[in-house]
Amino acid sequence: MIRVAITGIGVISAIGKTTPEFWDSLSQGRSGIRPIETADTSTLRFKNGAEVPNYQATDYFDEKQAQVYDRFSEFAVIAAREALRDSALELTQAMKSGGAVVTGACVGGQTSEDKEFEGLYRHNRNRCHPLTIPRIMANAGASHISMEMGFQGPGFTLSTACSSAAHAMGLAFWLVRSGTAPVAITGGSEAPFSLGLLKAWEAMRVVSPTTCRPFCKDRNGMILGEGGAMMVLEPLEAAQARGARIYAELCGFGMSSDASHITHPSTEGPSQAMLRALNDGGIDASLVGYINAHGTGTDVNDPTEAAAIREVFGAHTDQIAVSSTKSMHGHGLGVAAAMEAAATVLGMHHKLLPPTANFTEQDPAIQLDVIANEARAAEVEYALSNSFAFGGLNATLAFRSV
């Protein structure tokens, strides 16, 4: 099996429009949760979100491109461009011909969909803009990346709600590990701030009216986020041979399904995903030093995840530092796992583990070593990034320091 290196990272998020800005915020414990600006919140019970600040598509795309893109595809392409640039990989014809693009997206082109359907239902218009379909299709991000980069190998989009990008990155990892693809661009993107979708989230009663405080006694829900995060994966040997900067090795991937409830998580499903990621990478559980938790900050997720971690690691749990960076970049649904993978890998690379921001007092029902508010200097050999979706579809990625 081919070992797989992460050599490029691209991020556009509420806490930074580039990877260095994203890392700067993470390492400072700076949250990007602010009043929502791109949607009218006057009829909503919650007002805060983690939006990309002062975003203008025309800063990145010409008029003709911008016409075909939804906001979520723009984020996908912006992150992919940065990741590829960051990798300093010179694409050969063979890489382009076999290169994979695998993205995660949960709600697809909501911004365009909401706008067009509002025209039909509220303003009695008789038709939609002719580019509505190519804008809203969930695979648009992957398609535009493959078009721009000239990647002609496997290209697809996975949609597993909050785990979307983890499933995408896991499968891209397997494509490179098996030799099916010589290189992969993988991650996720999302732009969920449209009124219709926000009203739907409001009705679920899981969104915080204030901010996201994972693992805290006074946590009161999740905060929605948006953006794009992509990575370049290539064979470790090839990366070493060309003298590339290697952030970390992507070394294990595990998936599971709760097979129980559409929204209420089990502990068995998440623990199976973690165990399978460890088995997939041949990883000794006692060498895991950090877990970037799913950590949504909802009543149900956090204690369930804590119990699942203890089920897998037993007494070693006390030696594992845990944080939820959703407290800073928000819960980006289809992009969440990619942002968290980026946070994990950057933390390993910089030997500084990102914290859980907005932290007050730990919930006594949660027995984890939570990194609170301030980043923690630490060298870890292995780290995990967890993603557990509505619908009980779980995915865990495992990384090794290089």
Q: Give the residues lining the site for other proteins (CB under 8 A).
A: 63-64, 67-68, 123-127, 129-131
The per-residue DSSP string of 152-194 comes to: -S-EEEE--GGGHHHHHHHHHHHHHHTTS-S-EEEEEEE----
Q: How far is the CB of 125 from other proteins (least distance, A)?
A: 5
- For residue 80, give every residue at least 6 positions away whose Cβ sits within 8 Å of its Cβ, in sequence order, or none: 10, 101, 145, 148, 149, 185, 187, 228, 230
87 or 146: CB nearest other proteins: 146
294 catalytically annotated: yes
Q: How far is the CB of 67 from other proteins (least distance, A)?
A: 7
212 catalytically annotated: no
Q: How far is the CB of 140 from other proteins (least distance, A)?
A: 14
Strands (E), 77-148: 100-104
54 or 124: CB nearest other proteins: 124
Taking the alpha carbons at both ends of the chain, their separation in whole angstroms is 17
Ramachandran assignment for 93, one of left (phi > 0), alpha (psi -120 to 50 degrees), beta (any other): alpha
331 catalytically annotated: yes
**Which residue among 106, 144, 251, 294 is the active-site one?**
294
- Count of other CB atoms within 10 angstroms of residue 365: 11
Q: How far is the CB of 120 from other proteins (least distance, A)?
A: 10
- Count of other CB atoms within 10 angstroms of residue 54: 8
155-158/248-257 β-pairing:
unpaired
Q: How far is the CB of 124 from other proteins (least distance, A)?
A: 6
125 or 217: CB nearest other proteins: 125
Rg of the chain (C-alpha set): 20
Q: How far is the CB of 367 from other proteins (least distance, A)?
A: 56
> How far is residue 369 CA from its own chain's centroid?
22
91 or 131: CB nearest other proteins: 131
CA separation for the pair 147, 196 (Å, rounded): 31
Q: How far is the CB of 133 from other proteins (least distance, A)?
A: 10
**Which residue among 162, 212, 216, 251 is the active-site one?**
162
- Count of other CB atoms within 10 angstroms of residue 30: 12
Which residue has 């499968």 as its token pair? Answer: 171
Q: How far is the CB of 7 from other proteins (least distance, A)?
A: 35
The per-residue DSSP string of 210-263 comes to: S---TTBTT---B-BB-EEEEEEEEEHHHHHHTT----EEEEEEEEEE--S-SS
Q: Which token pair is 149?
A: 């980069």
CA separation for the pair 142, 104 (Å, rounded): 9
The CA angle 222-228-231, to the nearest 5 degrees, is: 120
**Amino acid (one-letter) located at 17:** K
Q: Across the chain, how many H-helices and E-strands are there?
A: 14, 15
Residues taking part in catalysis: 162, 294, 331
